[in-house]
Amino acid sequence: MIAHQVSIFLENKPGRLEKVTSVLKGTGINIRAMTLSTSSAGWGILNLLVDRPETACKKLSEAGHPAVLREIVVVRMQDRSGALHDMLSLLTLAGLNVQNAYGTVLGDNKTAILVIDVEDTEHVQQIFDSAGVQALTSKEVYGL
């Protein structure tokens, strides 16, 4: 099963991010990782890795936010120097352009995860598969 993140359109204004977190808090959603990309035109897209993306997306949408589920590929890496480079090298070799990626260190202090947001997730899966890197299942991602 392909994992999903929640992407939310936000105006670049004080209090907008807080409106989103307030919805998530009210629903008991746990956020594992996030990135915020802002355009120069006064808005941005918030990407959230959460434990229950469908619920989060539904609740945010009900609260009036443009929110969608976007497919992601999540891989586990060792928490050491050069690990991210090795992963990205695989994608570069395959000529793939990553639109958005982010990572987070897990609680064991030994492993980290890399979240990759691209149009063609299947392609990324294949690249990792053929390099012997195991992508996490959606269940694994949400249970991090």
Partner 1 sequence: MYWKPEIEILPQQQLRVLQAQRLQDTLNRAVNSPFYGKLFQKHGIGPETVKSVDDIRRLPFTTKEDLRNNFPYGFLTVPKQGAIRLHCSSGTTGNPTVIFHDNHDLSSWADLVARSLYCAGLRDTDVFQNICGYGLFTGGLGFQYGAERLGALVIPAAAGNTRRQIKLMQDFGTTAIHTIPSYLFRLHGAFQDLGLDPRRDTSLKLFVIGAEPHTDAQRRRIEELFGVKAFNSYGLSEMNGPGVAFECQYQNGLHVWEDAFLTEIIDPDTLEPVPDGEEGELVFTTLDRHAMPLLRYRTRDLTRFLPGDCPCGRTHRRLARISGRSDDMFIIKGCNVFPMQIEKVLMRFAEVGTDYVIELETFDGNDELTVKVELQKEWFTGDIEALEKLSRQIAHEVRDEILVSPAIRLVEPGSLPRSEGKAVRVVDSRKS
Cα 43–84–73 angle (5° rounding)?
60
List the interface residues with partner 1, window 91-120 (CB under 8 A): 99-100
Cα 32–52–22 angle (5° rounding)?
70
47 binds partner 1 (CB under 8 A): yes
Cα 37–143–47 angle (5° rounding)?
10
Out of 32, 59, 65, 76, point to the residue binding partner 1 (CB under 8 A): 65
Stretch that binds partner 1, among 61-69, 106-114, 125-133, 134-142 (CB under 8 A): 61-69
35 binds partner 1 (CB under 8 A): no
The CB-of-10 to partner 1 minimum distance in angstroms stands at 7
21 binds partner 1 (CB under 8 A): no
Put the strands of the sheet holding 100-105 in their side by side order. 31-38, 43-50, 3-11, 67-78, 111-117, 100-105
Cα 29–73–39 angle (5° rounding)?
75
Taking the least distance from each CB to partner 1, the nearer of 13 and 25 is 13
Residues of this chain that interact with partner 1 (CB under 8 A) are 7, 9-11, 16, 37, 39, 41-43, 45, 47, 61, 64-68, 70, 99-100
